[in-house]
């Protein structure tokens, strides 16, 4: 099923849950289905997921994207999205081992949330009017059988989802921006910029530090120093850059030199 069809199905058919709603679930190495959910599955990766994973694996974002991800091509997609590439033969996630997830402490947001999903109001349908949670009751998963009771909020706290919220919310503001949803941003150069900032953070660092970038924008030396060594700081700056350049928001200030040269106020 295409991503857009699955989203539509969720919006129309899935029971909607609030953070306080409860469900029963247990997942541990003793369950008969252990590791089965890490096979042949669509897992979307957020910018922060990629930073955590590539640093955990000790590789660059470019190497991570090349080896571990695919870019689904669907006509309804408004901008590039990145998904895990499963092993070509076994269809297992490339990061699963006999004893479970080999990057457990840095597993992506979607893996932490499972079996809870979240649907956003702006994802292309008139059916939904506000964000809601839902349960992904996959047939392979036996975790619902003898579980303990959780509220959605308790589950998210237990799985360390909160560390992902701040950057996830900013990413949502950008990826679900009305200009994207209305298809008004479709120039390849802009979509490539979105891809580089959001997913290829090491390439973005190269672009920022090895070009005339800082001649165009006012950025303090303290901020530059932080961005140089800290991927999260660089991503936060990148998000501001995207909001400025894609949506015309005043999130960055042009340098005096640039304003003078190009007659901007």
Contact positions toward ligand SF4, by CB under 6 A?
Answer: 27, 31, 33-34, 36-38, 43, 93, 95-96, 101, 103, 107-108, 111, 114, 140-143
Shortest Cβ 37–ligand SF4 spacing (Å): 3
Shortest Cβ 195–ligand SF4 spacing (Å): 21
Residue 49 or 202 having the CB closest to ligand SF4: 49
Residue 105 or 221 having the CB closest to ligand SF4: 105
Q: Could you give the C-alpha distances from 147 to 39, 113, 142, in angstroms and in order?
A: 22, 16, 9
Residue 37 or 201 having the CB closest to ligand SF4: 37
Residue 105 or 178 having the CB closest to ligand SF4: 105
Cβ atoms of residues 168 and 114 within 8 Å: no
Taking each helix axis as running N to C, give the angle between helix 201-209 and helix 231-247, from 0 to 180 degrees, rounded to the nearest 10.
Answer: 80
Residues whose CB is less than 8 angstroms from the CB of residue 178 and which lie 6 or more positions away in sequence, other chains included: 122
Shortest Cβ 92–ligand SF4 spacing (Å): 8
Q: Could you give the C-alpha distances from 102 to 95, 161, 228, 250, in angstroms and in order?
A: 6, 18, 28, 42
Distance CA(14)–CA(8), nearest Å, equals 10
Shortest Cβ 53–ligand SF4 spacing (Å): 8
Shortest Cβ 143–ligand SF4 spacing (Å): 3
Distance CA(175)–CA(225), nearest Å, equals 27
Shortest Cβ 48–ligand SF4 spacing (Å): 14
| Phi and psi at residue 152, to the nearest 5° | -55, -45
Cross-strand pairs, 24: 149
């Amino acid at each position: 099923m295409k991503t857009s069809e699955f989203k539509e199905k969720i919006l129309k058919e899935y029971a909607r849950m609030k953070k306080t709603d409860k469900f029963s679930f247990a997942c541990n190495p003793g369950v008969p289905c252990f590791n089965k959910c890490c096979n042949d599955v669509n897992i979307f990766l957020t910018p922060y997921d990629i930073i955590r994973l590539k640093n955990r694996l000790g590789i660059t974002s470019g190497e991570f994207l090349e080896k571990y991800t695919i870019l689904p091509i669907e006509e309804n997609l408004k901008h590039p999205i990145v998904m895990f590439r499963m092993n070509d033969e076994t269809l297992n996630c490339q990061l699963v081992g006999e004893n479970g997830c080999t990057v457990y402490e840095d597993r992506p947001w979607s893996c932490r949330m499972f079996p809870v999903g979240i649907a956003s109001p702006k994802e292309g349908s008139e059916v939904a009017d506000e964000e809601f949670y839902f349960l992904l009751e996959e047939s392979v998963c036996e975790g619902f059988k003898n579980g303990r009771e959780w509220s959605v909020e308790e589950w998210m706290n237990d799985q360390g989802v909160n560390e992902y919220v701040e950057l996830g919310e900013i990413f949502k503001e950008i990826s679900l921006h009305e200009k994207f949803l209305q298809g008004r941003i479709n120039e390849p150069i802009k979509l490539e910029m979105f891809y580089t900032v959001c997913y290829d953070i090491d390439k973005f660092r190269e672009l920022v530090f090895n070009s005339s970038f800082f001649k165009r924008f006012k950025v303090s030396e303290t901020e530059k120093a932080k961005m140089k060594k800290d991927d999260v700081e660089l991503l936060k700056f990148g998000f501001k850059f995207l909001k400025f350049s894609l949506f015309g928001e005043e999130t960055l200030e042009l340098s005096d030199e640039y304003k003078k040269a190009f007659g901007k106020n």
